[in-house]
Chain A
């Protein structure tokens, strides 16, 4: 899968590989021994956050789980 920043796709793949392994083999099994992916995540984030700024994608200030207010049922 491509990244929104064309130059970041390789870094994304590297991070995804590390994360998927950690997620299935450590995180889900309750192993809290720490995240082996911090370096590769940092490299990937540096690239993708730059691409987001350059493309003016409106992600800033969007609260986590933002629109999760009570909603009317129609």
Chain B
């Protein structure tokens, strides 16, 4: 069983600027949970595409009810790989991001596609899909709900982080109002989902003792 997520968003910067910002997005005020960033593979292909692999370390940020199911020796930080292909001819970028640690507890895979906004040539459209799954017996639904809630919050942070870095690159300060409304809505959705996840978790735990 897998939870699927899809969303699409716009950045009001050119595709070139967004791709350039993509490599400079860390650190930003919304990325305190990202501890390290490294390019561990990079090549220009014969068809002149740039393929790269980025290794990230992030703080694990699981709630206490979930941490109980982590073996004690497991690090509190998680390793994530992000593979990407930049095609400067087609003006597209595809990224695939997934965790290579904690995967049995919860696996999150995200695929993003960046292209020129078909309605506005100076903007960039980002399509995002994610698959969230967990294999922990009796808790997979709760963990998936938690994962989905956290993912939605992350998407907001990602877009805000991008806007921040883009504005910095262009020498301005990012506009607040639209971003703030988006955050509020995302926060409410995430909070509702987190509560649901906690409920499911405590239900599952109660069942175990019956």
Residues of A bordering B, CB below 8 Å:
1-5, 8, 12, 15-16, 19-20, 23-24, 27-30, 32, 35, 41, 44-45, 48-49, 52, 57-59, 62, 64-68, 71-74
Q: Are A71 and B2 in contact (CB under 8 A)?
A: yes
Q: Are B55 and A57 in contact (CB under 8 A)?
A: yes
Residues of B bordering A, CB below 8 Å:
1-4, 16, 19-20, 23-24, 26-27, 34-42, 44, 48, 50-51, 53, 55, 57, 79, 81, 83, 85-86, 88-89, 96, 98, 100-101, 109, 111, 131
Q: Which residues on A sit within 8 Å (CB–CB) of B88? A: 27-30
Query: Do A48 and B40 contact each other (CB < 8 Å), given the known contacts A72-B2, A74-B2?
Result: yes
Q: Which residues on B sit within 8 Å (CB–CB) of A49? A: 40
Q: Are B50 and A66 in contact (CB under 8 A)?
A: no
Query: Do A2 and B40 contact each other (CB < 8 Å), given the known contacts A52-B55, A71-B131?
Result: no
- Specify which of B3, B26, B83, B109 is in contact with A64 (CB 8 Å cutoff): B83
| C-alpha gap A62/B54 in the complex (Å) | 12
Q: Are B42 and A41 in contact (CB under 8 A)?
A: yes
| C-alpha gap A56/B37 in the complex (Å) | 16
- The minimal Cβ–Cβ distance linking A6 to chain B, given in whole angstroms, is 9
- Specify which of A30, A41, A52, A65 is in contact with B83 (CB 8 Å cutoff): A65
The 6 closest A-B pairs by CB, nearest first: A74-B4, A4-B36, A1-B37, A1-B26, A24-B20, A73-B4
- Specify which of B20, B79, B96 is in contact with A57 (CB 8 Å cutoff): B79
